[in-house]
Structure 1
């Protein structure tokens, strides 16, 4: 039990250090990575029938997608920012549906969408 608590503490400190040193570009990458991780964990929880954990993880993913959405500059980002905003709204709508319907295929759909956006973001030179 102590080892698990120590590991969680280490991970927390490690993430805090990464965030404090990260560029804005890297912060967005970290959010996307976190979203993909939570989606995979939610999928596992759904497969195991762990309803409470599934809901918590989907909720965290919704929060991450909202964070990505808040980071958009709609006035300067033009059509790309507008399209991303709409995509993020769609993702959150689908996440809510996945939670209510207990539908793994919807989680996979959102994961694929987020992975595609991340791929484009990763391709942007800093």
Structure 2
């Protein structure tokens, strides 16, 4: 229900939350030597990043869209490498990057919601 009622900004925040969740699951599974969960979590994280990359609007987004594309591509490359090497340190760095992105988009979404409320009042 939340997803069906959500606007584009809220959906983006939900997607980033899922990215963080899957990266955290992958990190935990690496520490626990759970290969099956690691493979599933890394695949989901890669799919999310691929979707985020594919939906960037370079015309409207300009320089920010280009920078996000570079960051998403970097993260995708690192996830492929992590899948082969099982590097927990790099995994923690990716979780941190994704968490910061999520927090930034959540903050932006909250600002937009506040501005909409002020305009409608």
Q: Same fold (TM over 0.5)?
A: yes
Q: Return the offset for 1:71.
A: 2.3
CA-based RMSD: 1.0
Corresponding position: 1:74 with 2:62: no
User: How many residues are paired up?
Assistant: 110
Unaligned 5+ runs, structure 1: 1-16
Taking structure 1 as the reference length, the TM-score comes to: 0.82
Q: Which residue of 1 aligns with 2:44?
A: 60
Stretch deviating more after TM superposition (81-90 or 108-117): 108-117
Q: Deviations over 1:71-122 (max 9, x none)?
A: 2101111100000001000001011111110111111111111112122212
Q: Which residue of 2 aligns with 1:5?
A: none
The counterpart of 1:85, out of the listed 69, 94, 112, is 69
Tell me the distance in 1 between the aligned counterparts of 2:20 and 2:57.
23
Tell me the distance in 2 between the aligned counterparts of 1:18 and 1:68.
20
Unaligned 5+ runs, structure 2: 113-121
Q: Which has the bigger relative contact order, CA under 8 A and spacing at least 6?
A: 2
Corresponding position: 1:27 with 2:25: no
Tell me the distance in 1 between the aligned counterparts of 2:86 and 2:80.
10
Q: Which residue of 2 aligns with 1:100?
A: 84
Tell me the distance in 1 between the aligned counterparts of 2:25 and 2:17.
12
Tell me the distance in 1 between the aligned counterparts of 2:11 and 2:55.
10
Q: Return the offset for 1:43.
A: 1.1
Taking structure 2 as the reference length, the TM-score comes to: 0.86
Tell me the distance in 1 between the aligned counterparts of 2:28 and 2:107.
29
